[in-house]
Amino acid sequence: MFAIFEWNTLMSQVETHSTLTCPDCGHVETETMPTDACQYFYDCKGCGVVLKPLTGDCCVFCSYGDFP
């Protein structure tokens, strides 16, 4: 029971929004980060380029987000 309480408390404190900045056109967009998987691709809403994580990063939020 204690472990469930800790998990619920932790998840209620997790920030799930991050502002992505496109390195090609500079467009910024605030998106919701998935809580159950890494997001590997993201289509820029400004220029349409498909963003992928930089080498060593697990997802586009780690590479292009203000709050990974």
pLDDT in tens, 22-40: 999 999 999 999 988 999 9
Domain that holds residue 42: 16-64
Amino acid identity, residue 8? N
Residue 5 lies in a domain: no
- pLDDT (tens digit, 9 = 90+) per residue, 40-67? 999 999 999 999 999 999 999 999 999 7
Residue 60 lies in a domain: yes
Rounded CA separation 33/63 (Å): 13
Model pTM greater than 0.95?
Answer: no
Residue 9 lies in a domain: no
- DSSP-derived letter for residue 39 is -
pLDDT of residue 11: 53
Residue 4 lies in a domain: no
Domain count, the chain: 1
Rounded CA separation 26/28 (Å): 6
10 pLDDT more than 80: no
Beta bridge partner(s), residue 18: 31
Helix (H, G, I), strand (E, B) or coil at 2: helix
